[in-house]
Amino acid sequence: MPFALNFVHPVLMWVLLGLMLYSGYLGFKASQIRKVSPEERKAMVPLRYGPRHAQLGAVILGLTLLGAAGGLGATVLKNGKLILGPHLFAGLAVVVLVIATASLGPSLQKGKDWARSLHITLNGLVLVLFGWQAFTGIAIVQKLLDAGTAPA
């Protein structure tokens, strides 16, 4: 496997973490629309926080699945096997939680408060796990860099 391909997954995952944080911001702004005065609401609605949050959620779902598959594939190509450890298990948990939160979409569109609370809770857990995983991934990337610069 070409050396540069080792870094597609980590770069994609850092971009994905940024998109998740931005999506959280959009979701927060969308939730504020329900709590502000009619004048403020009139100014905020054209900014389309809710629709942009939902659209970005679909992109996040797709990139999460592609990134996870890419990370698994790259690991198998490089090592001939999966490396069982916290990074892998946290990644699988993130994938499951992202799918679960995306499945709440229809209930969210119907305005169900339980779905909103669960959506926020699951995404908070996703951010904690994914943020931790991003930092553990730095150690993995460092190992790849050290192995790639070691004399043959």
pLDDT digits (tens, 9 = 90+) for 57-94: 999 999 999 999 999 998 999 889 999 999 999 999 99
Question: Which residue range forms the structural domain that includes residue 49?
Answer: 3-149
73-78 — which CB contacts under 8 Å span 24+ positions? Answer: 74/1, 74/5, 74/6, 74/8, 74/9, 77/1, 77/5, 78/1, 78/6
d(CA 32, CA 142) in angstroms, rounded, equals 41
Query: What interhelical angle do 86-103 and 113-149 show, nearest 10?
Result: 150
> Global pTM?
0.89
d(CA 78, CA 24) in angstroms, rounded, equals 34
Span 82-110, average pLDDT: 95
Q: How many domains does the chain have?
A: 1
What is the three-class DSSP state of 67?
Answer: helix
